[in-house]
Structures are given as C-alpha cells and as structure tokens.
Structure 1
Amino acid sequence: MTNISRDSDVVEINDPPFFDYGEKVRARRTVRNDGTFRGKDIGEILVNKGDEGYVVSIGTFLQQFYIYGVEFLGSGNRVGMKRKELESGELSDNKGERHD
C-alpha cells in the first residue's frame, strides 16, 4: 500500500478563513501552471514570489483546506492558492502574521 503524503494533518476548514475577501496578500513563492490554468502552457509562471493581489474568492479543497482565489495586480491572473503560499500584503515583519 502507498503512503499518502498530506500538506498537513490539520483540517484548516474547522476554523474561519485566515484571509478575508478584498484583503491584500503577497505570494510567498513562485507558482507555475500545473495544467489547470487555461490559456497558459504547463510550467509557465503564473505568479512570482512577492507579487501582490487581492482575495476575490474563498473555496475549499478536499474538505480540508481553504483555497483563496487571488487576483494578482501585475499579471491580471486569478490564481487559487493555499494559506501557506500567501502572506498578508500589509506586513512589516514579513512573517505571514497579521497586525490587527
């Protein structure tokens, strides 16, 4: 039998979403097309590390994770991303923590 590797054992959707609609966020890593982004080649960069955008939708994946639809300003791409791939766009310490 094959071991299934998960991103985390935590079921994120037991809590409210970390980011809100309209919140400014920044990509923590470069994201390439895995074949699910129409009109772009597989492997083509969709988002560069540090790109900023706004949360325009919030969905779930595998009844475990929130997926944030982020509209990135520079490219105009709308990309689904997990919390670990994003940080608040209002950061001063660059650690992914909020300053409410």
Structure 2
Amino acid sequence: MVDIAREDDDDVIEIALPPRFDIGERVISRNVIRNDGTYPGKDIGDLLVQRGDVGYVRSVGTFLQQFYIYAVEFADRGVQVGMRAKELCTLDKLPPEVLERLGERAQELSSMR
C-alpha cells in the first residue's frame, strides 16, 4: 500500500470561513503548476502555470467539503486552472504596509490590469 503524504494544513476546514479571494480578483501564482492528469488536452507533467503568472479568479468551488478551489484564468497562457488559496496571492487587496514596501513596484502592479 502506498502512503499518501498529507500536508500540514490538510486537517483545516477552509470552508468554515469565507473564501479568501473574490470572483474577478486579480491574483498571482505562488507556485509552478503542472498537469496532474486532470487538465484535458495536456500531458501529465506539462507546465500549466509558472510562478509569478497573473490571473483572474473566475469561480469559487469546494473540494472534499474542506477546501476552496479557485478557478483562475491565466489569459497569457490560455489556461484556466483550479488552485488552492495557499498557491495564490492577491494583487488587488494588498495591505497598505505591503504597498508601501513595494514602492514603485506597486505602480507597476496597478498598471497590469
């Protein structure tokens, strides 16, 4: 029998709280995402999303009555991928202290709409 590696947060019930991202919100990928076999028309292991790619949340669903899954459209890559909150970071709702630390880069993020 194969051991399934469970991540540290797999015992957390995310859906007990509101979704972290809203439909239409601009997000950035924190991880490289490869096809695990669930993306049609691509081979297993094919690159779907690169770390730093910018996308938009198109819908919010749930998985296993535990996690939110965000359907994120990455128009530059021509893909829509289901992702967990821990794989994403908002670009639209950054706290003021983060914007301050970003300085001029914050202006660049604003123009990326």
Q: Give the alignment's TM-score, normalised by structure 2.
A: 0.75
CA distance in 1, matches of 2:81, 2:55: 10
Does residue 5 (structure 1) correspond to residue 11 (structure 2)? The answer is no
- Determine whether 1:50 maps to 2:52: yes
RMSD after superposition: 2.0
**Aligned equivalent of 1:72, options 50, 71, 74:** 74
Cα gap change, 1:53/1:3 in structure 2, threshold over 3 Å: closer, same or farther?
Answer: closer
Q: Name the structure with the higher helix share.
A: 2
Where does structure 1 lack aligned partners over 5 or more consecutive residues?
A: 95-100
Give the TM-score taking structure 1 as reference length.
0.84
Picking from 12, 16, 19, the partner of 2:18 is: 16
% identical equivalent positions: 56
- Runs of 4+ aligned structure 1 residues displaced above 3 Å come to 1-4, 90-94
Aligned residues: 94
